[in-house]
Amino acid sequence: MKKVDIILNNEEGLHARPASIFSKKAGKFKSDIIVLKNDAEDKEYNPKSILSIMSMGAAMDDKITIIAEGEDEEDAVKALQALIESGFSLEEE
């Protein structure tokens, strides 16, 4: 299992555009991935679902935890972390 904490640093939070880039990226990995907001462990979000990500209502400075489990867990966590840290400015492949 791989886990990482990231502080959301893009001004608009996880709005439609970042949420869609984020779930597109997450969908590329085989691992099971869940996302938590501000350490609230009772509420897990599915990063492969744009609706789930948007429903987080994550705003700038919120703490996002990504937990991945599976064959490509390391890559998944790294890729999603890089995406958030770039402020979702990474070009879509």
Considering 15, 24, 63, 78, which one is annotated as catalytic? 15
Which residues are 68's β-sheet partners?
2, 33
Residues at the contact surface with other proteins, assessed by CB under 8 A: 11-13, 15-17, 19-20, 23-24, 46, 48-52, 54-55, 57, 59-60
Distance from C-alpha of 11 to C-alpha of 48, rounded to nearest angstrom: 22
Minimum CB–partner distance for residue 65 and other proteins (Å): 19
Q: Which lies closer to other proteins via its Cβ, residue 12 or residue 69?
A: 12
User: Is 91 one of the catalytic residues?
Assistant: no
Minimum CB–partner distance for residue 76 and other proteins (Å): 17
Distance from C-alpha of 93 to C-alpha of 86, rounded to nearest angstrom: 15
Cβ(13)–Cβ(34) under 8 Å?
no
Minimum CB–partner distance for residue 82 and other proteins (Å): 20
Distance from C-alpha of 92 to C-alpha of 42, rounded to nearest angstrom: 32
User: Which sequence positions are flagged as catalytic?
Assistant: 15
